[in-house]
């Protein structure tokens, strides 16, 4: 057995709920849908699931908001008999998966259910939440942001983009190729919230959120959920789907956990994660057939491309120019489901779902030919995690 134990862990099931732009179905029910769909996709039943993990997932008894299904409430709903369970902070939006791989490698579990549950549309957030002139308490890492009216990651990442764009010359026109390409992909994805084409003119004339980002650089908040079943590889090979393997995981944090205080700023935690991932495999960036990279903001996709060595810092703008290289038939098909910018914000779990479909050959009209290796990246700023997936 390799010393890199993720190589003996498989992905066996994936499920995704319906996604809603407006409050429609109570978000906890959407998380339950996603979990049951993932278990069924694997050819398992809830009785087979012996582990559950969620990031961040700590609000017991609350089925809405930015973590709309606790492991406690889901365990009780699904009647699971657990050997292991985990929720809370960790390596970005893939913390549950990183942790579940560890639980399987340690022999605690055979099949772990990992999920992300989004219910932020159910309750008012910024703008509507403070329409009465009230102000939130500045706590946690937001202590250093909120007193300056900088509540959004768009603001923090906007500062990063300002520096990087001045240093490397990436233009807004080049950045626009990410959302424009993803809308083309979303046209082929019936689950996507936005499927109409986006033109460069529409992008350039749309309203600015915080410079240099316009509305099309920001992902689409939705109520919805996605779940994945992670299994011991030797318990995965006789299930419903052909298993996919974790070739390598990156989840490192080698400097201050801080948006601006890293000694190597403007590097982010995602640079640590990407390096760790490539250190654990013989595969190289050139082996990647499809990339599914976090797009909470387009800027994070650019940073993931560079961190993973798929493009070089200083050359990413030229790589994106015209959009052909990142198209479905390009040299590096990127965010082939439309990503969070078009399908909706499922915090990298819909990116993972799309990687699974592409590797299984189940992506329908948007299937890329001969996909053997896919990479997923989640997060930015203080945390990051990446997954290199292959067919078994």
Give contact residues for another protein (rule: CB under 8 A). Answer: 126-127, 130-131, 133, 135-139, 142-152, 154-156, 158-163, 166, 207-212, 256, 259-263, 265
Residue 161 or 334 having the CB closest to another protein: 161
Query: Are the C-beta atoms of 186 and 220 separated by less than 8 Å?
Result: no
* Signed CA dihedral, 244, 245, 247, 251: sign only: positive
Residue 158 or 379 having the CB closest to another protein: 158
Residue 158 or 353 having the CB closest to another protein: 158
Residue 364 CB-density burial (10 A; 0-12 exposed, 13-18 middle, 19+ buried): exposed
Minimum CB–partner distance for residue 272 and another protein (Å): 16
Query: Are the C-beta atoms of 343 and 19 separated by less than 8 Å?
Result: yes
Residue 25 or 150 having the CB closest to another protein: 150
Minimum CB–partner distance for residue 314 and another protein (Å): 18
* Signed CA dihedral, 189, 194, 195, 199: sign only: negative
Minimum CB–partner distance for residue 227 and another protein (Å): 31
> What token pair was written down for 286?
């050139």
d(CA 191, CA 17): 9
Minimum CB–partner distance for residue 269 and another protein (Å): 15
Residue 1 or 135 having the CB closest to another protein: 135
What does the angle CA 78 – CA 82 – CA 85 come to, to the nearest 5 degrees? Answer: 100
Query: Are the C-beta atoms of 10 and 236 separated by less than 8 Å?
Result: yes
Minimum CB–partner distance for residue 299 and another protein (Å): 11
Minimum CB–partner distance for residue 82 and another protein (Å): 36
Residue 123 or 138 having the CB closest to another protein: 138
DSSP states along 124-136: --TTTTTTTS---
Residue 174 or 210 having the CB closest to another protein: 210
The contacts of residue 155 (CB under 8 Å, 6+ apart) are 145, 210
- Nearest to 306, CA basis, from 342, 351, 274: 274
Minimum CB–partner distance for residue 213 and another protein (Å): 8
Minimum CB–partner distance for residue 66 and another protein (Å): 16
Residue 1 or 137 having the CB closest to another protein: 137
Minimum CB–partner distance for residue 22 and another protein (Å): 20
d(CA 70, CA 67): 7
364: left (phi over 0), alpha (psi -120 to 50) or beta: left
CA-to-CA dists, residue 249 to 19, 177, 378, angstroms: 28, 28, 11
Residue 45 or 142 having the CB closest to another protein: 142
What does the angle CA 222 – CA 16 – CA 70 come to, to the nearest 5 degrees? Answer: 75
């Amino acid at each position: 057995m390799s010393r890199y134990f993720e190589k003996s862990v498989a992905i066996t099931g994936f499920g995704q709920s319906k996604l809603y732009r407006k409050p429609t179905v109570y978000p906890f029910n959407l998380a339950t849908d996603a979990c049951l769909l993932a278990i069924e996709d694997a050819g398992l039943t809830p009785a087979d699931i012996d582990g559950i993990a969620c990031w961040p997932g700590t609000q017991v008894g609350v089925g809405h908001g930015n973590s709309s299904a606790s492991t406690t409430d889901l365990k009780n709903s699904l009647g699971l008999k657990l050997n292991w369970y985990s929720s809370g902070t960790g390596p970005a939006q893939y913390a549950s998966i990183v942790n579940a791989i560890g639980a399987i490698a340690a022999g605690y579990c055979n099949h772990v259910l990992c999920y992300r549950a989004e219910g932020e549309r159910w309750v008012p957030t910024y703008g509507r939440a403070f329409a009465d002139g009230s102000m939130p308490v500045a706590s946690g890492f937001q202590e250093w942001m909120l007193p300056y009216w900088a509540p959004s990651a768009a603001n923090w990442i906007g500062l990063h983009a300002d520096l990087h764009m001045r240093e490397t010359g990436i233009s807004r026109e080049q950045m626009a190729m990410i959302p424009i390409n993803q809308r083309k992909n979303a046209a082929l994805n019936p689950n996507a919230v936005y499927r109409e084409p986006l033109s460069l003119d529409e992008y350039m004339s749309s309203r600015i959120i915080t410079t240099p980002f316009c509305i099309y650089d920001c992902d689409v908040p939705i109520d919805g959920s996605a779940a994945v079943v992670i299994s011991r590889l030797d318990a995965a090979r006789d299930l419903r789907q052909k298993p996919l393997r974790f070739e390598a995981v990156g989840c490192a944090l080698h400097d201050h956990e801080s948006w601006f205080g890293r000694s190597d700023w403007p590097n982010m935690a995602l640079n640590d994660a990407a390096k760790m991932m490539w250190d654990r495999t013989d595969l190289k960036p050139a082996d990647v057939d499809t990339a599914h990279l976090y797009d909470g903001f387009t800027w994070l996709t650019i940073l993931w491309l560079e961190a993973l060595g798929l493009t070089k810092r200083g050359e990413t703008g030229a790589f994106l120019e015209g959009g052909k290289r990142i198209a479905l038939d390009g040299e590096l098909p990127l965010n082939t489901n439309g990503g969070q910018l078009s399908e909706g914000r499922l915090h990298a779990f819909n990116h993972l779902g799309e990687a699974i479909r592409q590797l299984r050959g189940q992506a329908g009209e948007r299937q890329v030919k001969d996909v053997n290796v896919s990479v997923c990246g989640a997060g930015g700023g203080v945390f990051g995690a990446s997954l290199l997936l292959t067919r078994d």
